[in-house]
Structure 1
Amino acid sequence: MAGNAQIPIIDISATQGDQGDIAKHLVAAAAEHGFIYIKNTGRDISAEKIQKAFELSKLLFESPLEEKQRCSIQQNNQGWSGMHSETLDPASQRVGDFKEAFNFGPFKDGRATQPVPASMEAHHAELASFRDACHELCRKLLFLFGVGLEVSPADFFTAAHNPDEPSGSILRFLRYPPPSETPDAQAGDVRAGAHSDYGSVTLLFRIPGQAGLEILTPSNTWAPVPVTPPGTENDPSPPILVNIGDLLSYWTNGLLRSTVHRVSFSPGQAAHGESSVDPRYSLVFFCHPAHDTPLVSVPSERVRNFSGVSSQAKEGNPYAERKVLTAEEHLQMRLQASYGDLYKDKSKGA
């Protein structure tokens, strides 16, 4: 096990005149690491809003099993998935992931457009507000990536992620049970298999003290990613972790790196002050372009002049050299690999 992952921390609270510098730092971090801590998001997503979302997540997972099963995940990637139903690394995993999850798709007029457990009925507006805030923060970051890559027009990525268009964007609540609730786990099992994310950018929110996330380093070792990296201990909430997804890596010819990561049980190998003894909760927002977005060449000289997809980028994006016509086609390939049984009968779900 390597030491803690060395991921840059970037303050994105700069004024308009300083955006160019922030954009350059974001692109440099995305190209080298694929992961970035961001802090001082201000009114974009407040500490209070994050805390409330975690409270709703815990409430949801405490729902009776039959309530969650009533909302089981469908081929639109929305709904509840139970223990072992998702296998993020099917080539290496003995069983599916040791986690349960709930995926929220789009909201309309402040209400979910999918079944939700009864415990969430009084909280549609709060869920919609948090999801919208996540999407807007992603669009802000995507605009900065456009500035940093000198894309013309600078809003090329932002325009492709129009919140009013159908897309694969998902707000996901996750609960990983503690080892005491998983007596069937064996040595070598992981809570979530090694994988890279499918979309453009991902936002990850975590609770201080809860271990598990690891990234695969260039030296092919696993490194823990602390929830609270040095220098952020006194912040109102931990910095948000941002990572590049396969689609944005593909779109930029591998210049922006999609890094393989996993969630491990990690006994004795967690970052300092973190533990895997308790349940682990996380909130994730996966941002995707509109379904019909063609993954054409990015209008950027830096991207065009990049020497091509590196071997490192290929590791992070198994579809880096495969021709993909639209954002939706790219997403469907990845979902079918993770939820094989769900997609065996294409007539099931919608």
Structure 2
Amino acid sequence: MPAKIIDQYDHVPETKEDLDWAELITLDLGLYEQPGGKQELVKQLEHAVRYVGFFYVKNFNISQEEIDHQFAMGREFYALPLEEKLKYHSSSDLERGQYNGYRPAGHRMLGNGVKDNVQVFNIPKFDGQHVRQQPAVVQDRIEEVEAFSRKCHTEVVEKLLRLFAILLELPDEDQLVRDHQYDVPGEDHLRYMHYKARSADDNSKVGGLYNPGHTDLGTVTLLFRQPVAALQILNSAGEWKWVRPQNGTITINTCDALTALTGGLIKSSIHRVHAPPKDQAHLDRLGVLYFARPNNHVVLDPIPNSPLLQRLGLTQNTFTELGQHLTTEEWVKVRQTQQQRRKVTSTVSKEGKYSYAPKDLEILPGLHAKIYN
């Protein structure tokens, strides 16, 4: 039986509010195959990854039609009745740090009686290790979903990994690519993410935030253009800046595993999700994201054969200082287990500062997650 035809996805208009936008560089991946192009991109990239953790890419060989079709599938999934979506949810999986499938809104308490307003549906990469039942809207188009997932990896992630390798002066620019192979077991995944608009009163109770300041746990995160303004980053001056949606770009942020591998050289970007501005406050926010992580077996110690890291003395990281030599698989499990706890002890001050009991933030003995207020 042929798959049901999905209507075209139409993005909502961008905000007309005068927001304090972040100034981020845009890498033109069209330069990547040109003579000297990689070196030019590395020059542009270095400051962004060392001090900001966010940048845009353009000309990445994924069409807007392909992207919009993923948004349309996300829309169709979230339009399903809750009882249907819950067939793909397991609270016991979340407690064990397993995060693929569906997570309903309200799983976590933000504070002051307000629960989170985000639904998440994660589709693991197609490495043969994550066989799962999928809803019909996904299963009927599973080849298209896999093709999109693989293109995120080969057209964007692998190119960025080669640029990082050049930045680190590694002897082989494919070294990091070999640690992030798509068909080797790993925790990369595609995500459809839905934030439900909520009342101004509820927003005020939680400091106007949908998600407080945090870092991501993998290598890089790809956020496809989302015109509902909500993403904010913390700059080096300690100021929160809005991230502008730019046509024809993907927003990229660098994450914890990459920070660990580089001894802190590459910054794990601090970001949060704020309630949208007034002219978009009534809109739900649908996102399409791809999360890239090192393969499960990769040990997250600082890369030993980077001349740059050796010169700078960046031979330790947060894990090794505790005597830990975590694999990616171990890190993802302990971090996700901490992230999925129901934080019933959270409080939010009138100034919007979030506080949690230490036990709720403990990842490992001696290592606690940070909430950036």
Deviation at 1:150, TM superposition (A): 1.3
Determine if the alignment matches structure 1 residue 280 to structure 2 residue 285: yes
CA separation of 1:25/1:275 partners in 2, compared to 1, >3 Å: closer, same or farther?
same
Q: 1:35 corresponds to which residue?
A: 54
* One of 301, 315, 326 as aligned partner of 1:296: 301
CA distance in 2, matches of 1:72, 1:145: 36
Matched, 1:46 2:56: no
**Gap runs ≥5 in structure 2:** 1-17, 344-359, 361-373
Rounded to whole Å, the distance in 2 between the matches of 1:96 and 1:186 is: 13
How far apart, CA to CA, are the structure 2 residues paired with 1:288 and 1:150? 21
CA offset at residue 267 of structure 1? 3.5
* Structure 2 counterparts to residues 9-88 of structure 1, below 5 A: 9-14=26-31, 15-17=33-35, 18-41=37-60, 43=61, 45-73=62-90, 74=93, 75-86=97-108
User: 5+ unaligned residues in a row in structure 1: which ranges?
Assistant: 229-236, 269-273, 345-350
Equivalent position to 1:115, from 133, 149, 161: 133
Given candidates 270, 282, 287, the residue that maps to 1:260 is 270
The residue that corresponds to 1:347 in the other structure is none
8 Å Cα contact 1:98/1:192 also seen in 2: no
Determine the C-alpha separation between the residues in 2 that align with 1:253 and 1:94.
39
Superposed displacement of residue 206, structure 1: 2.6
Distance 1:93 1:251, change over 3 A: farther
Deviation at 1:149, TM superposition (A): 2.0
CA distance in 2, matches of 1:117, 1:49: 20
Quote the Cα distance in structure 1 between the aligned partners of 2:145 and 2:112. Answer: 33
Change in CA separation of 1:287 and 1:86 when aligned onto 2, cut-off 3 Å: farther
The amino acid across from 1:123 in the alignment is R
Larger Rg: 2
Could you tell me how far 1:341 is from its partner in structure 2?
Answer: 5.2
Structure-2 change in CA distance of 1:114 and 1:319 (3 Å): same
Selected match of 2:195 from 176, 186, 190:
176
Does 1:133 find its partner at 2:140?
A: no
CA separation of 1:101 and 1:244: change in aligned 2, threshold 3 A: same
**What's the TM-score, normalizing by structure 2?**
0.77
Measured in 1, the distance between the counterparts of 2:254 and 2:320 equals 13
**2:5 is matched with which residue?**
none
Aligned to 1:221: 239
RMSD: 2.9
Alpha carbons of structure 1 residues 152 and 297: separation in structure 2 relative to 1, 3 Å: farther
Q: Tell whether the 8 Å contact from 2:98 to 2:336 is kept in structure 1 after alignment.
A: no
Structure 2 distance, partners of 1:66, 1:81, is 12
Moved more, 161-170 or 320-329: 320-329
Equivalent position SS for 1:70: helix
Q: C-alpha displacement at 1:47, in angstroms?
A: 1.4
- 2-side partners of 1:121 and 1:154: how far apart? 36
Tell me how many residue pairs correspond in the alignment: 316
Query: Which residue identity lines up with residue 327 of structure 2 in the other structure?
Result: T
Local SS of the residue matching 1:58: helix
TM-score (norm 1): 0.82
State the partner residue of 1:201: 220
Structure 2 CA distance, aligned partners of 1:98 and 1:266?
13
CA drift of 1:76 comes to 2.7
Rounded Cα–Cα distance in structure 1 between residues aligned with 2:337 and 2:301: 23
Query: Per the alignment, in what secondary structure is the counterpart of residue 22 of structure 2?
Result: coil
The one-letter code of the counterpart of 1:292 is: H
Q: CA deviation at 1:3?
A: 2.5
Higher mean C-alpha displacement, 199-208 vs 294-303: 294-303
Residues 76, 137 of structure 2: 8 Å contact kept: yes
**1:329 paired residue number:** 330
Within the candidate set 155, 175, 179, 1:160 is matched to 179
